[in-house]
Structure 1
Amino acid sequence: MKILSPGVLRALEHLNAAYPWDHNAHYHRWILRQLPQRFGRALDIGSGTGDLARLLGRRANKVLGVDRDPRVVARAQHLTSPDAPVAFTVADAMTDTPSGPFEVITCVAAIHHLPFTQALTNFRRLLAPGGSLVVVGLSRAETRVDHLLGLMSVPLNPALGWLKNKGRRSPRPLSMTAPTRAADMSFKDLAREAQDLLPGVRLRRRLFWRYTLVWHNR
């Protein structure tokens, strides 16, 4: 769906470069609102440089962040206080995940790198009774609603970047992230599979090319 002219798109790209911001970190506070004020063990899948894991550590007895990239894990360890109840390890979310249960499992912008059904099955197995699973993911645009949200996000993206940077051009590099790839599942398909696996799961399309999934293991 191409509605904006190439010239407008180039102008928006320049604004994005001048006022960068982290789309995934944008949802961290929202994730915390889905969780109890205090909980025991938490697992952050695809933890990157550890921003979300450190936030979880303010509420959890213990947080484990796992990521496949040793370079990113080393950076997360460097940025984390030795006194924080947060640890990071190099691991594959499908084969090397530590034994549960966990009261909280989070996964931000990582599940589209994994086989979706197997990943949710693994998360469900690791989640303690009464625990919470929160996923922020990417899906392939397919419907008119998908394209409309994407279109709305194009001008909002630099506008929010300008606000987050308080109108100042930001020389700061964004957090280190693993190489990304395009999502291959549509929101409709992943919602259908999630609803089959996780009774009562809540999914919602979001701005900035994201969706959210919340499930409480009643």
Structure 2
Amino acid sequence: MDIRTTPNPLVRAAGRLLRRLNSRHPWDHNAHFHRWILRSLPEGATRALDVGCGRGELVRALAGAGLAVDGIDPDQEMAYVAAQRCRDLPAVAIRRRTLDEHADEMLARHPEGAYDAITLIASLHHLELESAIARLRALLRPGGSLLVVTLTVPRTAADTLWDIGNALTNPLIGLVKHP
């Protein structure tokens, strides 16, 4: 059972309650990893790609660290929000496109690799793994870093319990961080 898609009315009601709590005390578990990514950038990095850039928060953080940043997201609304959020940053380009579309264009211009760092937060699970890793590797310059924070689909009872625990603790962390 996947608690995110179950038709169970009790679980759905609990999900609505958790969403209300999260909206009152927001905590973005993806943003929690931005400091790790910034600390993990290779020395001398000048250019980064954020795959599945969402609303552009990590793109802004990378640009703030002095990198030229490309952000891509296949979702039109997310790409628009990111582009609006980053419009004041001249070294940032946001595009609505897939990894394959972006890789095709960039590798035609930079066959040796275009980026010192490539980041994916909660987006790798949306891609076909082997193909994506091959494309990401090709986009990296020699010595570049692939920095990934990913999600997994719950497949066992233990996975589901872990998922439930995370869903319950998110609003608590939000309450502590944003009372």
The reply to whether TM is greater than 0.5 is: yes
Map 1:198-217 onto structure 2 (within 5 A): none
Q: Secondary structure at the match of 1:135?
A: strand
Q: Where does residue 117 of structure 2 map in the other structure?
A: 104
1:130–1:144 Cα change, 3 Å: farther
Residue type at the aligned position of 1:164: K
Map 1:8-87 onto structure 2 (within 5 A): 9=14, 13=18, 14-36=20-42, 38-87=44-93
Taking the aligned partners of 1:109 and 1:63, their CA distance within structure 2 comes to 18
Report the aligned-residue RMSD.
Answer: 2.7
1:83–1:11 Cα change, 3 Å: closer
Q: Are positions 1:132 and 2:145 aligned together?
A: yes
Taking the aligned partners of 2:47 and 2:122, their CA distance within structure 1 comes to 21
In the alignment, structure 1 segments of 5+ residues that lack a partner are 168-218
- 1:41–1:62 contact (8 Å) kept in structure 2: yes
Map 1:82-161 onto structure 2 (within 5 A): 82-97=88-103, 98-99=106-107, 100-143=113-156, 146-161=159-174
More helix by share: 2
Q: Secondary structure at the match of 2:149?
A: strand
- 1:12–1:155 contact (8 Å) kept in structure 2: no
- 2:38–2:62 contact (8 Å) kept in structure 1: yes
Residue type at the aligned position of 2:136: F
More strand by share: 1
Give the TM-score, by structure 2 length: 0.76
- 1:63–1:87 contact (8 Å) kept in structure 2: yes
Runs of 4+ in 1 over 3 A off after TM superposition: 6-12, 81-84, 142-149
Taking the aligned partners of 1:82 and 1:108, their CA distance within structure 2 comes to 23
Q: Secondary structure at the match of 2:101?
A: coil
Residue type at the aligned position of 2:150: G
Taking the aligned partners of 1:93 and 1:61, their CA distance within structure 2 comes to 20
> How far apart are residue 65 of structure 1 and its match?
0.6
Give the TM-score, by structure 1 length: 0.64
